[in-house]
Chain A
Amino acid sequence: MITVRVEGERSEHGVFVFALSTCGWCKRTKEFLRENDVAFEYVDVDKCTMDEKREVGRILKERDVPLGFPVTIVDDEVVISGFKPDEFREALGL
């Protein structure tokens, strides 16, 4: 799976984003994290191979995540579905 790492000054949280490369809200989410200098990793699920897509499906199903992209996972614990700046700020202590 092609995971992209974005460097940032704020690296105290592990932030992972399941995104779609074609989606406006996914783009806004990446921009929000970049603007706030948050280090994060993301994967554009639509660019994955078929096997990887099914793997993402299994991961999200196991976590019982609402499937609206983007899905942002903070410290492997807090799951935020969609572009929700207030929830990002709270989870990341911004």
Chain B
Amino acid sequence: MISVEDVKRRHELDARSRGYRLNPDPDFLALLLEGLRVNEERYGYPSCPCRFSSGVFEVDRDIICPCDYRDPDVQEFGTCYCCLYLDEASFERGAADPIPERRPPEMQMRGLLAAGGEASQESPSEESSVETGRTLRYCRVCGYVVFREEPPYVCPICRAKREMFAEIDMGLGVRST
């Protein structure tokens, strides 16, 4: 079983690697870290403590901490949605205010209605609907390749913007002989 200290260490390391800080309010931070620990125990992955998790990995994938929305949120607002990660300026100020939700409403609703954990995971129709619509793309700056419905907001490797992602043409045409 993972401890709160393990969770804290993991997210501190991650914050440092990105030049972020963890929330300076000790009570608020403790609640978020405990929330991450509880979610990891419940679902098997540390989904965002401030968002609803369905328990279905494919549906919750974008809100596993650090979530897909963290980098653009910290860039724009100085904090991520749950206020675990702050930029240096917000950290120095000692506070972060709630920010708008960047996760698309249809994905939030999909999560709520998919709540059912194992039952939904076993359903082949659900799995296949999740599988469709993924595209192979690469970052034109660093070459990072991603296979998802949408390109990331920010390249996780070189931090290039979403616009720098291009679809990969597999060129699987029939070769003429």
* A residues whose Cβ falls under 8 Å from a Cβ of B: 20-27, 45-46, 50, 53-54, 56-58, 60-61, 66-69, 82-84
Contacts and interface: CB of A to CB of B under 8 A. Distances in A.
Contacts of B115: 50, 53-54, 57
A54 B108 CA distance: 12
10 contacts: A20-B49, A21-B38, A22-B35, A23-B51, A25-B83, A53-B52, A53-B112, A53-B115, A54-B113, A83-B98
A61 B109 contact: yes
A69 B113 contact: no
> Which secondary structure dominates chain A's binding surface?
helix
Given A24-B82, A67-B109, A54 B116 contact: yes
Contacts of B31: 22, 24, 27
Residue from A68, A69, A83 having most chain B Cβ neighbours under 10 A: A68
B34 interface: yes
B109 A23 contact: no
Given A57-B109, A68-B100, 11 more contacts: A20-B49, A20-B52, A21-B35, A22-B50, A45-B52, A46-B42, A46-B52, A53-B115, A67-B52, A67-B108, A82-B98
B6 interface: no
A19 B51 CA distance: 10
